[in-house]
Amino acid sequence: MADQEETFPIQSSPGGSDSRELRTENKSEKPNGTSSKSPSSQTTYIQQGMEGIKVYLHERELWVKFDEVGTEMIITKAGRRMFPSFKVKVAGLNPKTKYILLMDVVPADDHRYKFADNKWSVSGKAEPAMPGRLYVHPDSPATGAHWMRQLVSFQKLKLTNNHLDPFGHIILNSMHKYQPRIHIVKADENNGFGSKNTAFCTHVFPETAFIAVTSYQNHKITQLKIENNPFAKGFRGSDDMELHRLSRMQSTKEYPVVPRSAVRQRVGSSQSPFSGEVQGLATPSTLSSQYSQCESGVTSTSQDLLPQSGSYPLPHEHGPEYHCIKRKVEDDCHSGEHSYKKAYPESSSSEEDHYYRPVGYPQGLGLAGGPYRSESSQRQACMYASASQGAEPVPSLEDISCNTWASVSPYGSCSVTTMQPMDRLPYQHFSAHFTSGSLVSRLGGVGGHASPQLGDGHHPAMYQSSMTHQTLGRQCSPGAGIQSPAAGLQGNEYLYTHGIPRTLSPHQYHTVHSVSIMPEWNENS
DNA sequence: TCTCGCACATC
DNA sequence: AGATGTGCGAG
């Protein structure tokens, strides 16, 4: 219980502001070597007690290598893991407090990209985002001590291009750019999802942004994957190996010229013809660091964020460290970094199951997500709330919450409401229904239960009141936040979740789609 | 573009 | 030993 939530007093808004500035300038500082350790992410805090939390990206150097070339992640119907894997070291949590760690992947901007002339460029407007799904770390909820004890791995998270995916995987559109985010939600009783003050913080590592593809476009990326992913070891080899393989497969026929893959090593090696690095996009690498810390999220203005069109949206600021939050954080920050060394067993414990939760929109938790997409009005709405990433300074917690939740639930709303129709549809099945009032519960449960409701899907049904009304209410309604649906918001948020059919996937995947949080009704009742 | 079966790898 | 994760390249 109660342990408290707080370690610190609120501060809320911390950093946001700071962070915000975008910087673009700096780019890379990071590679200092610390690699993973340095927290480069940007954080948004929503409530108290979350300020001193630091999150360090594991193997950041590897991420930066990919980022410098323009990271691509394969998406398949069955679901494909990300590589590099998203693993983090967390510091600054209250050892006794329980937290839920989850991840989502939000659109980085509103564009559709194409890879031509060895570089990425914008080729049009992005397709409407689907309701985002959240991947709840299987160990959730767990104490701060648990999460800080070892690396927290999200490696089992899978990406799919199947909009009707029944497994709870995160659904993305090919040739679109995305930004993974990690959210830490306090799961105290006092703070369940639904409760009024749901405290949570969001961390974004710009260097983990990527373009979803059904097949690799840039050979350099293929090469990096082969060289670093143990499962692709079979493609490494020296030339001999390759030749052998090729010969077997093709037996002489063609040696590929340069088609995409063919070249693997060689190409990779460096020179690839393509190589260009350029990516029009963005290479984020530079950006990367920015994010670090803590902001508060919010957003009101999300606008800022938005568009960026061109390239990378991410706001950055990089600062490395950042300010996290201010005070305390600082300490953490530093320390944090080191903290981890590789040894951790990978994932935190069980990774086995992952739970996925759908979030409404990409923004997910509102926080950040949104930023990018801003464009569409509809979305925006949603986003607004969230957005912020870069942008604004501190919103109020409330906002955040709103957003947050919004993300969580609202989304639903957002999505539901405003969003394009598409979104809603499909997912229904999965609802996992977490019903419990609080996220926590859900989360906790998440894994476990699946729920019954599948069928309907969408009924948006369930709502929970969980979220703080206040929070939500305030902002949301008012304008700031999400507009919409918020409706749900109004006090409640809805999150409805869809249950995932367990059958399909065991609990592991629980995704939640959108939605609103339900109260207890159902489940718990 | 995307999907599929394959050989090869890890777990 | 089986399940599962990889990129390849044909379709």
Residue A342 CB in 7 A reach of strand B: no
Checking each nucleotide's C1' against the CA of A77, the nearest proves to be B3
Beta-strand pair A72-74/A210-213:
parallel
Checking each nucleotide's C1' against the CA of A80, the nearest proves to be C5
Nearest Cα residue to A305 out of A374, A204, A402:
A374
Looking at per-residue pLDDT, the higher value among A297 and A373 belongs to: A373
Confidence of residue A40 (pLDDT cuts 50, 70, 90): low
pLDDT of residue A138: 96
Q: How far is the CA of A407 from the C1' of C11 (A)?
A: 41
Distance CA A197, CA A187 (A): 11
Residue A231 CB in 7 A reach of strand B: yes
Backbone angles phi and psi of A109, in degrees to 5: -170, -175
Beta-strand pair A142-143/A98-116:
antiparallel
H/E stretch holding A329 reads helix A326-339
pLDDT of residue A235: 94
User: In the numeric block, which tokens belong to residue A27?
Assistant: 């780019």
Q: How far is the CA of A465 from the C1' of C2 (A)?
A: 46
pLDDT of residue A155: 97
Q: How far is the CA of A75 from the C1' of B7 (A)?
A: 21
pLDDT of residue A330: 31
Provide residues 463-502 of A with CB closer than 7 Å to any strand B atom: none
Place of tokens 């070891």: A233
* Phi-psi region at A124: left, alpha or beta (left = phi > 0; alpha = psi -120 to 50): left
Tell me the pLDDT tens digit for each residue of A458-487. 222 222 222 222 222 222 222 222 222 222
- Nearest residue to B11 (CA, C1')? A231
Nearest Cα residue to A443 out of A351, A368, A356:
A356
Checking each nucleotide's C1' against the CA of A229, the nearest proves to be C6
Can you name the residues that pair with A43 across neighbouring β-strands? Answer: A203, A294
Confidence of residue A295 (pLDDT cuts 50, 70, 90): very low
Nearest Cα residue to A59 out of A344, A313, A356, A320:
A344
pLDDT of residue A11: 28
Provide residues 203-222 of A with CB closer than 7 Å to any strand B atom: 213-215, 217
Confidence of residue A49 (pLDDT cuts 50, 70, 90): confident
- The pLDDT mean for chain A works out to 55
pLDDT of residue A368: 36
Checking each nucleotide's C1' against the CA of A81, the nearest proves to be C5
Most confident of A85-99, A266-280, A505-519: A85-99
Does the pLDDT of residue A32 top 60, yes or no?
A: no
Give the length of chain A: 525
Looking at per-residue pLDDT, the higher value among A374 and A194 belongs to: A194
CB-contacted nucleotides of strand C (7 Å): 4-10
Does the pLDDT of residue A262 top 50, yes or no?
A: no
Distance CA A400, CA A410 (A): 12
Q: How far is the CA of A262 from the C1' of B7 (A)?
A: 16
Q: How far is the CA of A204 from the C1' of C4 (A)?
A: 29
> At a CB cut-off of 8 Å and minimum separation 6, what does A274 contact?
A118, A218, A219, A220, A267
Q: How far is the CA of A87 from the C1' of B7 (A)?
A: 29
Q: How far is the CA of A231 from the C1' of C10 (A)?
A: 22
Q: How far is the CA of A233 from the C1' of C3 (A)?
A: 18
Does the pLDDT of residue A310 top 50, yes or no?
A: no
Q: Tell me the CA end-to-end span of chain A in Å, nearest whole number.
A: 22
pLDDT of residue A193: 56
- Nearest residue to B9 (CA, C1')? A231
Tell me the pLDDT tens digit for each residue of A266-281. 333 333 333 333 333 3
Does the pLDDT of residue A36 top 60, yes or no?
A: no
Distance CA A171, CA A105 (A): 9
Task: Give percent helix, percent strand, percent coil of chain A, each to the nearest 5.
Answer: 30, 20, 50
pLDDT of residue A43: 78
Tell me the pLDDT tens digit for each residue of A495-506. 222 333 332 333
Looking at per-residue pLDDT, the higher value among A44 and A224 belongs to: A224
Distance CA A324, CA A329 (A): 5
Does the pLDDT of residue A196 top 70, yes or no?
A: no
- Across A63-77, A84-98, A268-282, least confident range: A268-282
Confidence of residue A131 (pLDDT cuts 50, 70, 90): confident
Most confident of A6-15, A55-64, A360-369, A446-455: A55-64
Provide residues 74-113 of A with CB closer than 7 Å to any strand B atom: 76-77
Q: How far is the CA of A116 from the C1' of B5 (A)?
A: 28
Tell me the pLDDT tens digit for each residue of A422-434. 233 223 233 332 3
Whether A185 and A198 have beta carbons less than 8 Å apart is answered as yes
